[in-house]
Structure 1
């Protein structure tokens, strides 16, 4: 998606940070860290994933739903894709 390419560097930084957070969770579990530490790491990772999702959802909505040059058919397709992603996320 071209509109994501504009923000690709920032998105990739977020993804790499999330990957590091997941690795920290793995290391904590391997080293038998206390559950409080693991809970904090998981919560932080979830927050980072939510932030990434928010950014991509916003970009999708602006480009594929709200863009003034879209036809009604294109908007419907964009809304359907957005609803599908939100439903998958909320399960």
Structure 2
């Protein structure tokens, strides 16, 4: 079973929150909110999208490449763990 299917409810909830954040940006633009506030809203959306992307990439690595918590090859496990850490750092 794919990790996106197993985590469907959680991922869908995140997407719905993102949709709500984008609707807040739209409302802010329509009501002519000051640009600084709109920039903050957009930054929040960006952070949420990056968080979703990070979660999807990490799960993909663990399910389809190598799970560092389960791989018996210490070098592969360490490489996968390092890759996951890099992805998390990059998407912060």
Normalising by structure 2, report the TM-score: 0.69
* SS of residue in 2 equivalent to 1:54: helix
Gaps of 5+ in 2: 72-86, 88-92
Deviation at 1:2, TM superposition (A): 2.0
Deviation at 1:26, TM superposition (A): 0.5
Structure 2 partner of 1:9: 9
Which residues in structure 2 correspond to 1:2-81 (within 5 Å)?
Answer: 2-67=2-67
User: For each residue in 1:13-49, what CA deviation from the matched residue of structure 2 results, as whole angstroms up to 9, or x when unmatched?
Assistant: 1000000000100110011000111011000000000
Normalising by structure 1, report the TM-score: 0.70
After the TM superposition, list the runs of 4 or more consecutive aligned residues in structure 1 that deviate by more than 3 angstroms. none
After superposition, the CA RMSD in angstroms is 1.6
CA distance in 2, matches of 1:7, 1:48: 17
Gaps of 5+ in 1: 69-85, 87-91
* SS of residue in 1 equivalent to 2:66: coil
* SS of residue in 2 equivalent to 1:23: helix
